[in-house]
Chains A and B, each alone.
Chain A
Amino acid sequence: MILSLIILYVLSLIYLSMADRFRSHTMILALQGLLLFGIAMARMHAFHPVEMGFIVVETLVFKAIVIPIILMHVIRKTQINRITSSSTQFGSLVMSIAALIASCTITYYMHNSNADTISFGVALYALLSGLILIVMRKRVFAHLVGFLVIENGVFLFSMAIGVELPMLINLAIMLDILISILVLGMFLQRMDNDMNTDESDALTSIKD
């Protein structure tokens, strides 16, 4: 069960590197939220109502519903649709596969008996995929998606190494991330209004 969910997660990351429509990016992020919910539930050894409630809120509510709604709102407001250049897509696909190989290699060397090796490797791949999206894509919306992919990767990573943080800390972390997304979404809209662009090339006016 967990393995099939993780394989789906890897496929979603590969698809993300090829997708050119921002709506597809948003839908993949929602799907990743659902997959993370499934993985977290499958890993639970016993029924803990509070822990389960928190997982539902963090994955289903925030990652699969609230954040995609915010992103869809930004897409509608800014009327952005797709990534402009197709060459970066092919480049990011090649980079994504290279990242997958790199993650497998790193996981092999960092193997630890306390950690779930497969989840560890996939989490690492998610982190690298997020970084690739940020570096390879020019539109700042893609950067925002990259940041969210990294956040999902960190969540999967925490499951891989089996760390259970106190509820207060988990809640604070979740709120922090949500507010960051809201702030970034707000500034992205401002950028579109004030600068009539969301290309990262336009963000080079501050120089020495």
Chain B
Amino acid sequence: MLTYLIISLILAVLPLVVRTERMTNVIAALFFLLQVAGIALIIGYGRVDGVMLSVFCADSMALLFHSLMTVVLGFSLIHSSSYLKAEQVSTRSYKTYYTLLMLLAVAITCVYYSDNIAMTWVFLEATTICSAGIIYHREFKQSLEATWKYVFVCSTGIAMAYLGIMLLATVAQHGALDYTSLKEAIVEGDPLYLKVAFLLMVVGYSCKMEIFPLYTVGIDANYSAPAPASAFISTALVNAGFVSIMRIYTLYAESDVFEWARHVLILIGVLSLAVGAMFLRRANNYKRFLSYSTVENMGIVAIGLGIGGVALWAAVFHVVCHTFVKSSMFYHVGIMRHVYDSYSINRIGNYININRVGAIGFIIGTLVLLAFPPSPLFISEVKIFSEIVTVEKWWLLIVMLVLMCVVLYSIWSRSLRLSYHSNQDELHLSAVNRRLSYIASIPLVFAIVLGLWQPQVLNDAINSIIAREVAIEIEEVEIVATPEQACEEVAEDAETTDALVKEVEAAAEEVIEETTDENLDNNGDVL
């Protein structure tokens, strides 16, 4: 891990010392290959679940999200090159952008692999610093505002999360803040401290996961950053927030306040969904529009975590699929900007006649985002709904359905507007890049494939992540589903029961005999 980190950091800062953009692209390609090699080595050498440098652990969650980040990073690097060339940025600016993007990728990777709650915090704070430069890349007045808000709110929010970690540390033995030790120690923790700690940590990390209450800075950041970087922030960085919250969630799973924590997540999820639904109607900028969609989707994920059971599996699956869909949508929006030089929803249109490939990609992306079959989001949302019905939270079902109807109408009407509404802005038809539109659609194809077929390796990874909660239920379902296995299970149970009964009988006979002997002795003494 140390070697990987050192090489990653060297590659990330190398663009600052090279002279040309071409060399920067080569370094970026090497950085991407390093990520692929890192994942391959961990899996190939059987280092899964291995602890590295005593603060990192390559568990299923880290590997899954690192793989996703690598895919998005690859596409972001390709799109960034075209985007920056179209923007005609200076070589210095080009190199700085790539350096910051790669440093952000390193910080996010460290968040995924952190096996220590304080180190997770440290690397999340590091992502704030790396993101700041990317958000300010375009150097206009609004990007300065967005950057200030992002750094300030994230730093303050994460300082609050640190306070939560300190509260949680009161239950830790000898200051051990690794997740395994904390999980064991948390069972004996003061419930009030645990509740306050959970609230502070979730609120602090909400700025990264883009959920209520600190979601606003993420929206501004995505609005201000270049579109390929927005794709990366809106997926890989949001996933880093999700991983951090998921680790806290798992930590609390055996504590007395777990039920309370789940209710908090449901409340945060509903409020995020409501914010998404409300602002999707109002947004007049395609990037802000997609960012609010992220808030809405992460709200659904938070509800999934709060409900638990099969919805927990669905929540993780939802995050995985959302990564592909949302990154693709941001890449399409980035290509669209070259044509219109604007993101204005009310002014631009007629995209279907300008860039048919891009327009169809965007419409299909919208349909997938709206969870129309064969969208993978359809599977996750149906599973979440089914679990809500199982636990009989009818109020939640109704609220979610109403809000999702608003979301559906808003997203669909806005997306169709891009293709079929008349255009009012200046056009730059020479900037139409169909090849790039095809590339932007590739993550979308991945998402649709996941909707039709979920590979066993993905199922295993998700089951491993949620092992404590849902895996048991899934096992039970599988046993009932196959009658032969069920009969064998019953027979085994019966044999075990018979053996136990015999043991108990034998023990009881021994006790009776001993008691009788003692009584006889006593009687003898008395007599």
Which residues of A are at the interface with B, using a C-beta cutoff of 8 A? 109-110, 112, 114-115, 127, 134, 140, 143-144, 147, 150-151, 154, 157-158, 161, 163-166, 168-169, 172-173, 176-177, 179-180, 183-184, 187-188, 190-191, 194-195, 203, 205-206, 208
B175 with A163: CB separation less than 8 A:
yes
A150 to B172, CA, bound (A): 24
A177 to B148, CA, bound (A): 15
Minimum CB–CB distance from B162 to chain A (whole Å) comes to 6
For the complex, would chain B's binding face be called helix, strand, loop or mixed by DSSP majority?
Answer: helix
A177 to B151, CA, bound (A): 11
A183 with B129: CB separation less than 8 A:
yes
A161 with B167: CB separation less than 8 A:
yes
Minimum CB–CB distance from A15 to chain B (whole Å) comes to 22
With most chain A CB atoms within 10 A of its CB, the pick from B132, B162, B284 is B162
Residues of chain B contacted by A184 (CB below 8 angstroms): 148, 151-152, 155
B175 with A166: CB separation less than 8 A:
yes
Q: 1/0 per residue B267-288: CB within 8 Å of A?
A: 0000000000001001111001
Given contacts A154-B166, A164-B175, contact A180 B146 (CB under 8 A): no
Pairs A-B, 6 closest by C-beta atoms: A163-B169, A172-B122, A176-B125, A169-B118, A164-B175, A208-B282
Given contacts A143-B152, A173-B118, A183-B129, contact A157 B279 (CB under 8 A): no
Given contacts A140-B148, A180-B155, A203-B148, contact A157 B119 (CB under 8 A): no
A195 to B146, CA, bound (A): 13
A19 to B148, CA, bound (A): 24
Closest to A202 in B: B145
Q: 1/0 per residue B150-169: CB within 8 Å of A?
A: 01100110011011001101
A143 to B283, CA, bound (A): 28
Choose, from B44-52, B189-197, B397-405, the stretch at the interface.
Answer: B189-197
A191 with B166: CB separation less than 8 A:
no
Given contacts A163-B170, A184-B155, contact A154 B148 (CB under 8 A): no
Q: Please tell me which one of the listed residues B119, B166, B283, B288 contacts residue A161 in the complex, with CB atoms under 8 A apart.
A: B166
A108 to B177, CA, bound (A): 27
A150 with B156: CB separation less than 8 A:
yes
Q: Please tell me which one of the listed residues A114, A163, A176, A206 contacts residue B126 in the complex, with CB atoms under 8 A apart.
A: A176
A187 with B119: CB separation less than 8 A:
no
A173 with B156: CB separation less than 8 A:
no
Q: Can you give 20 A-B contacts (C-beta < 8 A)?
A: A112-B190, A115-B170, A127-B163, A134-B156, A151-B159, A168-B55, A169-B177, A173-B122, A176-B129, A180-B125, A180-B151, A183-B151, A184-B148, A194-B141, A195-B144, A205-B145, A206-B220, A206-B224, A208-B282, A208-B288
Count B-side interface residues using an 8 Å CB cutoff.
Answer: 48
A161 to B152, CA, bound (A): 27
> Cβ of B147 < 8 Å from any Cβ of A?
yes
Closest to A180 in B: B155
Given contacts A147-B155, A163-B170, contact A187 B144 (CB under 8 A): yes
> Cβ of B252 < 8 Å from any Cβ of A?
no
Count how many pairs of residues, one from A and one from B, have CB atoms less than 8 Å apart in the complex: 109
A110 with B169: CB separation less than 8 A:
no
A169 to B166, CA, bound (A): 13
Q: Please tell me which one of the listed residues A112, A151, A172 contacts residue B170 in the complex, with CB atoms under 8 A apart.
A: A112
Residues of chain A contacted by B285 (CB below 8 angstroms): 208
> Cβ of B234 < 8 Å from any Cβ of A?
no
Closest to B124 in A: A176
A180 to B284, CA, bound (A): 32
A205 with B155: CB separation less than 8 A:
no
> Cβ of B128 < 8 Å from any Cβ of A?
yes
Residues of chain B contacted by A127 (CB below 8 angstroms): 163
Residues of chain B contacted by A110 (CB below 8 angstroms): 192-193, 196
Residues of chain B contacted by A115 (CB below 8 angstroms): 170
Residues of chain B contacted by A203 (CB below 8 angstroms): 145, 148-149
A173 with B121: CB separation less than 8 A:
yes
Residues of chain B contacted by A177 (CB below 8 angstroms): 125
B156 with A206: CB separation less than 8 A:
no
B142 with A205: CB separation less than 8 A:
yes
Given contacts A114-B170, A147-B156, contact A169 B144 (CB under 8 A): no
A191 with B156: CB separation less than 8 A:
no
Residues of chain B contacted by A179 (CB below 8 angstroms): 129
A73 to B226, CA, bound (A): 31
B148 with A187: CB separation less than 8 A:
yes
Given contacts A115-B170, A165-B177, contact A154 B162 (CB under 8 A): yes
A196 to B284, CA, bound (A): 28
Closest to A164 in B: B175
Residues of chain B contacted by A134 (CB below 8 angstroms): 156
A102 to B3, CA, bound (A): 50
A143 to B125, CA, bound (A): 18
Minimum CB–CB distance from B293 to chain A (whole Å) comes to 13
> Cβ of B223 < 8 Å from any Cβ of A?
yes
Residues of chain A contacted by B279 (CB below 8 angstroms): 208
> Cβ of B116 < 8 Å from any Cβ of A?
yes
Residues of chain B contacted by A188 (CB below 8 angstroms): 148
A176 to B139, CA, bound (A): 24
A147 with B159: CB separation less than 8 A:
yes
A184 to B172, CA, bound (A): 33
With most chain A CB atoms within 10 A of its CB, the pick from B193, B220, B224 is B193
Minimum CB–CB distance from A76 to chain B (whole Å) comes to 20
Minimum CB–CB distance from A139 to chain B (whole Å) comes to 13
A159 to B144, CA, bound (A): 36
Residues of chain A contacted by B144 (CB below 8 angstroms): 187, 190-191, 194-195
B122 with A169: CB separation less than 8 A:
yes
Q: 1/0 per residue B29-43: CB within 8 Å of A?
A: 000000000000000
Residues of chain B contacted by A190 (CB below 8 angstroms): 144
Closest to B125 in A: A176
Residues of chain B contacted by A208 (CB below 8 angstroms): 279, 282-285, 288
Minimum CB–CB distance from A136 to chain B (whole Å) comes to 15
Given contacts A187-B144, A187-B147, contact A165 B155 (CB under 8 A): no
- Give the contacts of B89-118 with A (CB-CB under 8 A): 116, 118
With most chain B CB atoms within 10 A of its CB, the pick from A127, A147, A169 is A169
Given contacts A110-B193, A147-B159, A176-B125, contact A169 B148 (CB under 8 A): no
A195 with B163: CB separation less than 8 A:
no
Q: 1/0 per residue B424-459: CB within 8 Å of A?
A: 000000000000000000000000000000000000
Closest to B148 in A: A187
Given contacts A110-B196, A154-B159, A169-B116, contact A183 B282 (CB under 8 A): no
Residues of chain B contacted by A166 (CB below 8 angstroms): 175
Residues of chain A contacted by B193 (CB below 8 angstroms): 110, 112
